[in-house]
């Protein structure tokens, strides 16, 4: 006996599902998997390097700017301090002239002797008291005097007014200071006027004994 076969009939699978795949599905794949595109990752990497380089450049520029600003602040502070300390330099130089005149006034008086005229004694005491007070005021304002007698000649602080032989002083030593060396806060205000030793007197110039 023959069986009619319907050419349009499709046998069901054992699971009850037809052999045809459902629309939108691919045979052999349970689900679609999205794989990252390697080209995109490679394209992003150079961009990150570019941004990191730009960030480092900005950081270096900022550090240099900070260093320059610190130097500027330090320099400005020093200049302001110098201006404050030395703004009166010209006035101070004139003031020390008055101090030197007091010293000359004392030097013009005769040496103190027993039984001298009372007027001269009072005059000497008055000038000495004025000089001490005046020098104290100068000291409090950063002005000081240094007597270089007996010290080596220093061209930075002394001005040689004369040279002479001396058996008591080595060559280049200050024999006498006509005026002291004046400084304002450690900076030279006025050099000392000095007499400098030329060394021992030559034997030919010594008087015969």
Q: What is the pLDDT of residues 65-108, one digit of tens each?
A: 888 888 888 888 887 877 777 778 888 988 999 999 999 999 88
Instruction: Return the pLDDT at 28.
Output: 46
pLDDT mean by block of 10 residues, the chain; 209 residues:
47 45 47 51 71 88 88 84 77 91 90 88 92 94 93 95 92 94 92 94 67
Report yes or no: 149 and 169 within 8 Å, Cβ to Cβ.
no
Domain ranges of the chain: 44-86, 87-111+118-197
Question: Minimal CA–CA distance to 174: which of 185, 160, 188?
Answer: 160
Torsions phi, psi for 34 (to 5 deg): -90, 115
- Residue 110's pLDDT is what? 87
- Give the whole-angstrom CA distance, residue 53 versus residue 58: 9
Picking from 180, 148, 149, 176, the residue whose alpha carbon sits closest to that of residue 162 is 176
CB contact at 8 A, 198 and 104? no
Coil/strand/helix, residue 195: strand
Domain spanning 87-111+118-197: CATH 2.30.22.10: yes
Integer Cα distance of 45 and 25 in angstroms = 36
What pLDDT sits at residue 14?
44
Residues 6+ apart with CB under 8 A from 121: 112
**Given the structure tokens 């950081």, which residue do they identify?**
59
Write down the pTM of the prediction.
0.59
CA distance 87 to 92: 9
């Amino acid at each position: 006996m023959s069986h009619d076969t319907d050419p349009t009939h499709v046998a069901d699978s054992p699971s009850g599902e037809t052999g045809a795949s459902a629309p939108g599905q691919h045979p052999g794949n349970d689900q679609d998997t999205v794989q990252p595109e390697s080209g995109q990752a490679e394209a992003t990497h150079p961009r990150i390097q570019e941004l990191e380089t730009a960030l480092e450049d900005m950081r270096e520029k900022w550090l240099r700017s900070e260093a320059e600003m610190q130097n500027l602040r330090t320099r400005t502070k020093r200049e302001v301090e110098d201006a404050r300390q030395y703004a009166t330099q010209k006035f101070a130089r004139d003031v020390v002239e008055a101090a030197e005149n007091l010293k000359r006034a004392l030097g013009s008086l005769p040496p103190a002797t027993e039984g001298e005229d009372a007027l001269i004694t009072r005059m000497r005491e008055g000038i000495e008291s004025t000089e001490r007070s005046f020098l104290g005021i100068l000291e409090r304002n950063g002005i000081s005097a240094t007597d270089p007698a007996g010290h080596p000649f220093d061209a930075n602080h002394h001005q040689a007014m004369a040279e002479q032989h001396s058996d008591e002083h080595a060559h280049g030593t200050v024999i006498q200071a006509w005026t002291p060396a004046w400084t304002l806060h450690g900076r030279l205000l006025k050099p000392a006027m000095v007499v400098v030793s030329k060394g021992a007197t030559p034997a030919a110039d010594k008087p015969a004994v």
